[in-house]
Amino acid sequence: AQVFAGRAPVKPHAKPGQVAKLGPSRPRVEDVGEHVAQKWILTRGRDNIRDLLPGPILPTVIDTELLIEAEKELGHSLRPYPEARVWLRDGFWARVYREFDLGVGVSSK
């Protein structure tokens, strides 16, 4: 114990190129995706949402809008968390599919 007395603790080093990032929880992100989908349905109308069906791939411009709206809701960026963006799309499609009584979709991205 005296050998290490006065030394600062050594922090484990991450391998080059690896950064440990703790992102938001899956249930929270899926809930936000559903909330954003509900807003879409109410503001864009059922006919515009119907153009996205059968899904689960969103046009790039709509996918970007979904991400921006979700980040506003969450209060932070999802861009460093690719898995969270998948969960966001899953939540979006779950709400859209429920609205149109189509079952639950899971994105392939």
For the chain, the first-to-last Cα distance in angstroms comes to: 52
Helix, strand, coil fractions of the chain, as percent rounded to 5: 55, 0, 45
Residue with tokens 């690896």: 18
pLDDT of amino acid 2: 55
- Tens digits of pLDDT across the chain (109 residues): 555 555 555 554 445 554 455 788 999 999 999 999 999 889 988 778 777 877 778 888 889 999 999 999 999 999 999 999 999 999 999 998 888 887 654 454 4
Question: Tell me, what's the pLDDT at 46?
Answer: 77
The residue type of 93 is W
Report the distance separating Cα 70 and Cα 31, nearest Å.
10
Q: Which two tokens stand for residue 97?
A: 């599919």
pTM here is 0.71
